[in-house]
Amino acid sequence: MWPPFFSAPTEALILVGRYRKRRRRLEVWQGVAAASGLRVVESPSLRARPQVLKALAGPVEVRFEDSRRYGTRVVVVVPGPPGFSDVTIHREPGQPSGPPVEVGDVLFDRAFYVLGPVPLVCAMLDAEVRGLLWRLSAECRLEIAGGELRAEMRETHVASLLPLLLDLGQRLAQHVDPPRCLAENARRDPDAGARLRNLLVLAREFPGAAETVEALRTACSDPKPEIRLRAAQGLGAEGRDALLELAQSELDDTWNAQAVSILGRRLPFDLTSGILTHALRRRRTLTARACLESLGRSGDPAAVATLANVMAREQGELATAAALALGKAGSTAAEPPLILALQQKNTDVMAAAATALGQVGTAEAVLPLKKATERTSFHPALHRAIRQAIAEIQFRLPGASPGQLSLAAAEAGQLSLAPAEAGQLSLATDPAGQLSLPSGEADRVCGE
């Protein structure tokens, strides 16, 4: 018995409509398959549910299936390289099962959610493959998972999208040699971020390989300074000339500074000084700071005068950096300018000078350090740096023990080890400024 709102003729018309729709869809599939040169190996009857038409394009299997939401689902089964079945690519992240793989192309990485082995993903997703993914995802619902490329679309789009799907499937089915493909992508990808990403993955995953070394050498001539920098860094000693060129070039402050930092002691003193002078004149702060740090670690005796000059003439972070670099220099010749810096009004510079004195200062620096504490209002960072500096100087004195510093009886301003108990502080017996402390109370003096 028919439902009250349906009559037998109406139901018959509905069934006929569905039959015609299935027949029309199957005809579209068969026509598109023939036009694309596919060999149909399995065609469904009009009564079959769901309808599935199978065809082959060389080694690639193609299935046309019903899709409730869009009408047609085209599935391209890709006999991809090892690991391809673990690759997942789609537009909507849904419930991510892990952090996505980034290929370096910022727009692509933002739009697509990608999972899989990093070397394989970066090697496969070259500019052409990414372009096909962009075009297809704009016209259909696209997903790659489990070794299959699945696209849901309207019947009217099947004819125009199938060639793109076959092209993508055949590209993904190609044998992939990760080192070779990564090197090729690092050389020719039009997107600089993708070139860099491929280069870094290549250097990390295949260090020492012939493809890696050649790619690094080629990348030293890349238009983008960051890529040249990373390539030169990856080449080690062989990349020194490229780094020298970057350090002295008129590039962005960031890349100049990084080139100087990577070179370190391999950058000669004269070149470092020249780059520093240019950076100070152009107010390239990052490069200037990198030069100051490099000079501090250079071990060159002439570096002390250069650093002291910058500390005296500059203000703020550059003066602070110069003071810290003087401490890294490890030379007692840095002590006089650092003691002089304790008289500045900038507490950051004073704290940096105190820290540096803790590294290179002698007993003669203790009294100026204490006076700096007395001269400034309470400043936790500065006072902490001064206390630490005094403790480090005391630790370096031959035969010293904690709290054993005292002012010498011979000459005001000199320090010596107290002859009696550790912690005993005494002043010269001259009537002017005579001061003594009981031995039981003196332990706290040098700790202040």
pLDDT at 356: 95
The residue ranges of every structural domain in the chain are 12-175, 319-394, 404-448
pLDDT at 18: 59
> Measuring CA to CA, which residue among 167, 107, 98, 110 is closest to residue 136?
167
Average the pLDDT over each of 1-15, 206-220, 429-443 and give the range with the smallest value: 429-443
pLDDT at 318 over 50: yes
pLDDT at 227: 97
Under a CB-based contact definition with an 8 Å cutoff, are residues 448 and 387 in contact? Answer: yes
Q: At what angle do helices 303-313 and 316-329 cross, to 10 degrees?
A: 160
Q: Up-side HSE of residue 272: CA atoms within 13 Å toward CB?
A: 26
DSSP H helical ranges for 93-209: 106-111, 118-124, 127-139, 155-173, 178-188, 192-205
In the structure encoding, which two tokens stand for residue 15, read together?
A: 């069934």
Mean pLDDT of 292-296: 95
Helix, strand, or coil here: 328? Answer: helix
Phi, psi of 176 (to 5 degrees): -115, 120
- End-to-end Cα separation, the chain, in angstroms: 102
pLDDT at 93: 63
Mean pLDDT of 200-223: 96
Binned at pLDDT 50, 70 and 90, residue 8 comes out as: low
Cα-based distances in Å from 296 to 266, 291, 331 = 13, 9, 10
pLDDT at 433: 40
How far apart (Å, rounded) are the C-alpha atoms in residues 157 and 35? 14
Under a CB-based contact definition with an 8 Å cutoff, are residues 79 and 173 in contact? Answer: yes
- The pTM (predicted TM-score) of the whole model is 0.76
pLDDT at 3 over 60: no
pLDDT at 130 over 60: yes
pLDDT at 105 over 60: yes
How far apart (Å, rounded) are the C-alpha atoms in residues 318 and 287? 11
Cα-based distances in Å from 364 to 75, 134, 229, 339, 395 = 82, 70, 45, 9, 14
Q: What percent of the chain has pLDDT over 70?
A: 82
pLDDT at 265: 86
DSSP H helical ranges for 283-379: 285-298, 303-313, 316-329, 335-341, 347-360, 366-375
> Measuring CA to CA, which residue among 258, 253, 262 is closest to residue 280?
253
Q: What is the pLDDT of residues 165-211, one digit of tens each?
A: 999 998 998 888 999 999 999 999 999 999 999 999 999 999 999 99
How far apart (Å, rounded) are the C-alpha atoms in residues 303 and 419? 39
pLDDT at 436 over 50: no
Binned at pLDDT 50, 70 and 90, residue 423 comes out as: very low
pLDDT at 7: 59
Q: What is the pLDDT of residues 61-101, one digit of tens each?
A: 999 998 888 889 999 998 878 899 999 999 876 666 678 99
pLDDT at 272 over 60: yes
Binned at pLDDT 50, 70 and 90, residue 49 comes out as: confident
Mean pLDDT of 25-52: 82
pLDDT at 402 over 60: no
pLDDT at 315: 87
Binned at pLDDT 50, 70 and 90, residue 155 comes out as: confident
Under a CB-based contact definition with an 8 Å cutoff, are residues 76 and 36 in contact? Answer: no
pLDDT at 16 over 60: no
Binned at pLDDT 50, 70 and 90, residue 115 comes out as: very high
pLDDT at 234: 95
pLDDT at 261: 94
436 or 39: which leads in pLDDT? 39
Average pLDDT score, the chain: 84
Q: Up-side HSE of residue 259: CA atoms within 13 Å toward CB?
A: 31
How far apart (Å, rounded) are the C-alpha atoms in residues 357 and 86? 58
423 or 301: which leads in pLDDT? 301
Q: What's 399's DSSP letter?
A: T
412 or 185: which leads in pLDDT? 185
pLDDT at 10: 61
Binned at pLDDT 50, 70 and 90, residue 116 comes out as: very high
Specify the CATH architecture of the domain 319-394: Alpha Horseshoe (1.25)
Q: What is the pLDDT of residues 354-381, one digit of tens each?
A: 999 999 999 999 999 999 888 887 788 8
pLDDT at 277: 94
How far apart (Å, rounded) are the C-alpha atoms in residues 212 and 17? 62
Q: How many CB atoms lie within 10 A of CB 16?
A: 10
pLDDT at 439: 43
pLDDT at 387 over 80: yes
